[in-house]
């Protein structure tokens, strides 16, 4: 009789541990998707727009980029769900001054942001490859499980970031409002 009761107590304790794990994973996924991802995306957008601005200013064209780090989350989700048209970041400049440049310079202006996105994707991918290869060949030690969990968490966040970068790069390459669409319409 005592063994049955002890077994039930152990089973209840195991169930509580499983429920805690599920709650921790759900909380992590919620935080990473709804809070961390918008800021990582905005960081990429900031460097994308900064690349446009730097090239514009190298040709003597005044450009302005005002990042809004306070409204990142509402702007991100209004844009994702199409609730309203919101601008996460945009570089403003005088288009007439850009039209005076030669086609190679114009191409450099409009492709600078995409090159910035590709650099981000390359660096993040290289990080994922090397850190995961390191884990593959590392010998398990006492603290190894904690490191694996930390690396998996970082891998998840970086993987989400890469997916967002890929989708925004595809948008910039294929949509008429993207950088390449604007470049083609300006050059034609």
Q: Which residue has the tokens 């991802």?
A: 37
Query: What is the residue-averaged pLDDT of the chain?
Result: 83
Enumerate the β-bridge partners of residue 93: 63
Task: Give the pLDDT band of residue 116 (cuts 50, 70, 90).
Answer: very high
Distance, CA of 112 to CA of 172 (rounded, Å)? 11
What count of Cα atoms within 13 Å lies in the side-chain half-sphere of residue 129?
A: 6
Q: Is the pLDDT of residue 103 over 80?
A: yes
| Phi, then psi, of 65 in degrees rounded to 5 | -140, 115
Task: Give the pLDDT band of residue 108 (cuts 50, 70, 90).
Answer: very high
Find the DSSP H helices in 138-175: 144-174
């Amino acid at each position: 009789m005592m063994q049955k009761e002890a077994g039930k107590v152990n089973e209840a304790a195991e169930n509580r541990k499983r429920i805690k794990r599920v709650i921790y994973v759900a909380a992590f996924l919620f935080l990473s998707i709804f809070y961390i991802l918008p800021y990582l995306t905005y960081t990429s957008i900031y460097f994308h727009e900064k690349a446009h601005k730097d090239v514009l200013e190298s040709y003597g064209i005044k450009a302005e980029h005002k990042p809004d780090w306070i409204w990142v989350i509402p702007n991100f989700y209004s844009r994702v769900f199409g609730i309203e048209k919101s601008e996460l970041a945009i570089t403003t400049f005088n288009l007439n001054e850009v039209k005076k440049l030669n086609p190679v310079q114009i191409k450099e202006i409009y492709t600078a942001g995409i090159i910035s996105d590709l650099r981000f994707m390359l660096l993040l991918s290289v990080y994922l490859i090397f850190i995961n290869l390191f884990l593959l060949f590392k010998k398990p030690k006492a603290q190894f499980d904690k490191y694996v969990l930390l690396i998996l968490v970082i891998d998840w966040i970086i993987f989400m970031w890469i997916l967002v970068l890929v989708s925004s790069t595809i948008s910039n390459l294929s949509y008429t409002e993207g950088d390449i669409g604007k470049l083609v319409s300006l050059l034609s």
